[in-house]
Chain A
Amino acid sequence: MLNPTKVKNDFPIFRRKIDGKEIIYLDNAATTQKPKSVIDAIKDYYENFNSNVHRGIYKLSEEATDMYEKARKNVSDFIGGNDQNGLVFVRNATEALNLLASSIGQSLKRDDEVLLTLMEHHSNIVPWQFLMGKGVKIKYADLKEDGTLNMEDFTSKITQHTKVVSVTHVSNVLGTINDAKELARISHEKEATFILDGAQSVPHMPVDVKDIDCDYVAFSGHKMLGPMGIGGLYGKPDLLSKLPPYMGGGEMINTVTTEGSTWADIPLKFEAGTPNVADAIGLSAAVDYLKNIGMKEVRKHESEMILYAFQEEKYMENLKSFGPRSLHLRGGVYSFNIGDIPSFNIQRELEANSIRISRASMHPHDVASEIDKEGIAIRSGHHCAMPLMARLDVQATARASFYIYNSKEEIDKLFIGLQNATARFGH
């Protein structure tokens, strides 16, 4: 069984104290901390192997290329990819989704449709909105009151015009786990390309792209113990091969003449310029660390954490938490508010329900600011999901998101911190 206190010892940052207090880090949906093995792998690369890849015919470059391609294979295997050439290294999930929207977008025409959901992160909304200028329509599948996707609404919004369906696997606000396999099946039935935003799932649960049968999946390394600035786009190799390139430059070409150019094979076709070799190797070390624990164990631990939060929240007056209550539909993301924090509306503000007057509410920034004084890091705001905030009719939420180094004792401290914060705030 996963022992979070033991896991914590592998992470140098937790030796640090801030104002004499241990760090309780509950913002893992934003980014995760790095184990020593990841930091060492990056250091080792720069100290012993640094050189440019795929170019030099000298020893250093051959070794670096070998390490980079082994990292690709390791990351590809981790998500169940059956061909490492389907794994393109990108900066993060955002870049992967921009690449897809741009390259797939080239073949989209006026009145073609892209289907998203109302629980998407801005990175799976804005790149698609770039296509609206050429007449592409964006549709959004609605949620049910329990925070799960409304499958009837989703199905009704796929039409013969739907060319792309792009959906998050796990909501970064509600923690909702979407049935990716079923969504892929429905999408393919309508001959739409199915894209999975795996930024909040790949780090937290077993993900098998073959089993899901998704056409593409996007994820970020830094949310799964890896370094910042590296992430993955996995695509079915036959689809990736047909997709036009995103950025031009070195590495991604076959030949260049003054008349024009031809493209390299995948994955290099999508990796213009010198790649982020060190961080790809760091991400591979993160994958090794997670494999060693086992993704089923990671998932089980986070389920226990969210269940414990459900049990403890009862003692907190005025706390409202969001997202599905069934553990099998819920990742380790816990969004909540103290009292009601409705979205801004001048007329409504002028009525006597302002939170300044209502002592039952405490704005999430104030919540986060107050418990920061006790060394607890949580997020507050719209979590880059403003359409979801509007749908929930909240301006913002506070959010605690769990990972392998978080313990039940830390959840206790979170709720004690919240009790103290509301007391100080004059409730």
Chain B
Amino acid sequence: MSEDIAYEVMMDHYRNPHNYGTIENATNRITEYNPICGDTVHLEMIINEGRIEDIKFVGRGCSISQASASILTETVKGKSISSLNDLTDQKYLMDLGVSLGPARERCALLSLNALRKAIAGDGTAP
């Protein structure tokens, strides 16, 4: 996938986010901020028997942070929690297919870091 197309895919996720919303009977919730810029991602998910059965997000921030959240929900929905160990920062950024530079990489990783915290159990219901 060329970088131009990858960028267009991200912009499409930004404008038409997937899995946008909340889950009434969520087992884990978290609101994560990027302290540098205030970008926000709120994740809600149902984790059952070590598997992410459902996941949704609500957020506000730049196109990169919000598109990434949408892509993340698509990536991890239905996956086992143990499989997330292989989803390193580096791999996640590679899969996005867009070279972002260090400042915007933090935007892209906001939702992944939130997901890890939520699963680790310090996901606090706001």
Interface residues of chain A, those whose CB is within 8 Å of chain B, are: 341-344, 346, 349-350, 354-357, 363-366, 369, 380-382, 386, 389, 395-396, 426
Flag if B17 contacts A363 (CB, 8 Å).
no
Given known pairs A356-B66, A365-B64, A365-B107, the reply for A389 and B38 (CB within 8 Å) is yes
Flag if A396 contacts B38 (CB, 8 Å).
yes
Flag if A363 contacts B36 (CB, 8 Å).
no
Choice from A343, A356, A381, A395 contacting B14 with Cβ under 8 Å: A356
Choice from A346, A355, A395 contacting B58 with Cβ under 8 Å: A346
The answer to whether the Cβ of B73 comes within 8 Å of any Cβ in the partner chain is no
User: Which residues of chain A come closer than 8 Å to B120, judged between CB atoms?
Assistant: none
Given known pairs A344-B59, A366-B63, the reply for A396 and B16 (CB within 8 Å) is no
The 10 closest A-B pairs by CB, nearest first: A365-B62, A381-B37, A344-B40, A363-B62, A344-B60, A382-B38, A349-B58, A366-B63, A366-B62, A396-B38
- Inter-chain CA distance A240–B107, complex, in Å, is 44
User: Which residues of chain A come closer than 8 Å to B126, judged between CB atoms?
Assistant: 346
Task: Give the interface size bracket for B toward A.
Answer: 20 to 34
Min distance, Cβ B77 to any Cβ of chain A, angstroms = 19
- Inter-chain CA distance A50–B6, complex, in Å, is 54
Most buried by A among B36, B58, B107: B58
- Inter-chain CA distance A426–B38, complex, in Å, is 24
Min distance, Cβ B112 to any Cβ of chain A, angstroms = 18
- Smallest Cβ-Cβ distance to B38: which chain A residue: A382
The answer to whether the Cβ of B39 comes within 8 Å of any Cβ in the partner chain is yes
- Smallest Cβ-Cβ distance to B60: which chain A residue: A344
User: Which residues of chain B come closer than 8 Å to A344, judged between CB atoms?
Assistant: 40, 42, 59-60
User: Which residues of chain A come closer than 8 Å to B97, judged between CB atoms?
Assistant: none
Pairs across A and B, CB under 8 Å, 15 listed:
A341-B60, A342-B60, A346-B58, A356-B16, A363-B61, A365-B61, A365-B63, A365-B104, A369-B62, A382-B38, A395-B40, A395-B60, A395-B61, A396-B38, A396-B39
Interface residues of chain B, those whose CB is within 8 Å of chain A, are: 11, 14-17, 20-22, 36-40, 42, 58-66, 104, 107, 126
Choice from A342, A357, A386, A389 contacting B15 with Cβ under 8 Å: A357
Given known pairs A363-B63, A396-B38, the reply for A350 and B58 (CB within 8 Å) is yes
Choice from B15, B21, B37 contacting A396 with Cβ under 8 Å: B37
Given known pairs A344-B60, A355-B60, A357-B15, the reply for A381 and B38 (CB within 8 Å) is yes
Flag if A346 contacts B63 (CB, 8 Å).
no
Choice from A349, A356, A382, A426 contacting B37 with Cβ under 8 Å: A382
Q: Dominant SS at the A interface?
A: loop
- Smallest Cβ-Cβ distance to A355: which chain B residue: B60
- Inter-chain CA distance A350–B24, complex, in Å, is 14
User: Which residues of chain B come closer than 8 Å to A365, judged between CB atoms?
Assistant: 37, 39, 61-65, 104, 107
Flag if B42 contacts A346 (CB, 8 Å).
yes
Flag if A380 contacts B14 (CB, 8 Å).
no
Flag if B22 contacts A346 (CB, 8 Å).
yes
- Inter-chain CA distance A344–B66, complex, in Å, is 13
Flag if B60 contacts A369 (CB, 8 Å).
no
Flag if B60 contacts A381 (CB, 8 Å).
no
User: Which residues of chain A come closer than 8 Å to B36, judged between CB atoms?
Assistant: 381
Flag if B62 contacts A356 (CB, 8 Å).
no
User: Which residues of chain B come closer than 8 Å to A382, judged between CB atoms?
Assistant: 37-38
User: Which residues of chain A come closer than 8 Å to B17, judged between CB atoms?
Assistant: 356
User: Which residues of chain B come closer than 8 Å to A426, judged between CB atoms?
Assistant: 11, 15
User: Which residues of chain A come closer than 8 Å to B61, judged between CB atoms?
Assistant: 363, 365, 395
User: Which residues of chain B come closer than 8 Å to A386, judged between CB atoms?
Assistant: 38
Given known pairs A356-B15, A363-B61, the reply for A350 and B38 (CB within 8 Å) is no
Most buried by A among B39, B62, B107, B126: B62
User: Which residues of chain B come closer than 8 Å to A354, judged between CB atoms?
Assistant: 20, 60
User: Which residues of chain A come closer than 8 Å to B11, judged between CB atoms?
Assistant: 426
- Inter-chain CA distance A369–B64, complex, in Å, is 11
Min distance, Cβ B104 to any Cβ of chain A, angstroms = 7
User: Which residues of chain B come closer than 8 Å to A381, judged between CB atoms?
Assistant: 36-38
Flag if A369 contacts B58 (CB, 8 Å).
no
Flag if B39 contacts A349 (CB, 8 Å).
no
- Smallest Cβ-Cβ distance to B11: which chain A residue: A426
- Smallest Cβ-Cβ distance to A370: which chain B residue: B63
- Smallest Cβ-Cβ distance to B66: which chain A residue: A356
User: Which residues of chain A come closer than 8 Å to B64, judged between CB atoms?
Assistant: 365-366
- Inter-chain CA distance A365–B40, complex, in Å, is 13
Flag if B62 contacts A395 (CB, 8 Å).
no
Flag if A395 contacts B38 (CB, 8 Å).
yes
- Smallest Cβ-Cβ distance to B58: which chain A residue: A349
User: Which residues of chain B come closer than 8 Å to A395, judged between CB atoms?
Assistant: 38-40, 60-61
User: Which residues of chain A come closer than 8 Å to B42, judged between CB atoms?
Assistant: 344, 346
- Inter-chain CA distance A380–B39, complex, in Å, is 11
Min distance, Cβ A33 to any Cβ of chain B, angstroms = 20
- Inter-chain CA distance A366–B65, complex, in Å, is 10
Min distance, Cβ B99 to any Cβ of chain A, angstroms = 13
User: Which residues of chain B come closer than 8 Å to A355, judged between CB atoms?
Assistant: 60
- Inter-chain CA distance A364–B107, complex, in Å, is 13
Given known pairs A369-B104, A395-B38, the reply for A349 and B59 (CB within 8 Å) is yes
